[in-house]
Structure 1
Amino acid sequence: MYAENYKRLEQLIDKLREFNGVILVEGMRDEVALRKLGVETEIIKLSRFPLAEIALTASHYHDIMILTDFDRKGEDLAKKLTQYLEGYKCRVDTNTRRELKKIAKKDIKGIEDLYGLYLRFKSLRF
């Protein structure tokens, strides 16, 4: 099971690294974790502005990925952001978050822990 999860996690991390839009995260630690994983695209932190303003700013990008945490607050934020952004006719990726949650929910609580999980999986050498 861990070998399958590691392989899928690597695929998702590659997807993050190759993503050319903007990624929306909850806070600074989330951004730091993504940068450690090699993600270079634009990242907007939700903790800085009201959601409506963030959605308006993000709507200038062609592709938007929402990577909020896996708790109830993260779920609510993802839903609200998706509604705002779909109102702007944006292409919103929530599948990556859903896949990460499926793989990692038992091991981590959110995006800020993703880098540590990646290192743990990698150290197991499947």
Structure 2
Amino acid sequence: MDEEAAKERLLSLTHQLNFESERGALIVVEGARDEMALRRLGFEGEVYKLCYTRRSMSGLMAKAEVHSKVILLLDYDLKGRALMKKVSSMLQDKGLNVDTTFRREIRAATGGLASHLEDLKRFASKEGVV
């Protein structure tokens, strides 16, 4: 997939994420730079930044319980994959609706060029919209 096609696909995914957020989904990323990359792509909804502390994990569990769905957008590196497995399992054990589809779709849209969510900023224009 060329870069223009990737930008178009990411724009479409961002619109879908905004729609999901409006319907009550919580978007979870690892950190501030990941959130910034999503914002530059046009995401406007609520984002929960997950740090590697116990408190943020318990905070996520409490926050997730009041949302219709939790969309996990964690990195694609080894650390991100391990965190993804742990968080997904914890949320599902609580009976919460966990969605990892967008994570896979974003990876496919970039042709594997983004190993971290923050790498998506390369697909955003300087004005913040692809």
* TM-score for both structures, normalised by structure 1: 0.81
Overall identity of the aligned pairs, in %: 33
Partner residue of 2:43? 39
Structure 2 residue matching 1:19: 3-state secondary structure: helix
Partner residue of 1:58? 64
Partner residue of 2:124? 118
Structure 1 residue matching 2:47: 3-state secondary structure: strand
Larger relative contact order (CA 8 Å, sep ≥ 6): 2
CA–CA separation in structure 2 for the residues paired with 1:87 and 1:118: 36
Partner residue of 2:10? 9
Task: Name whichever structure is richer in helix by fraction.
Answer: 1
- Amino acid across the alignment from 2:121: Y
CA–CA separation in structure 2 for the residues paired with 1:34 and 1:27: 11
What's the offset of the Cα at 1:25?
A: 0.6
- Unaligned 5+ runs, structure 2: none
Aligned residues: 121
- Amino acid across the alignment from 1:24: V
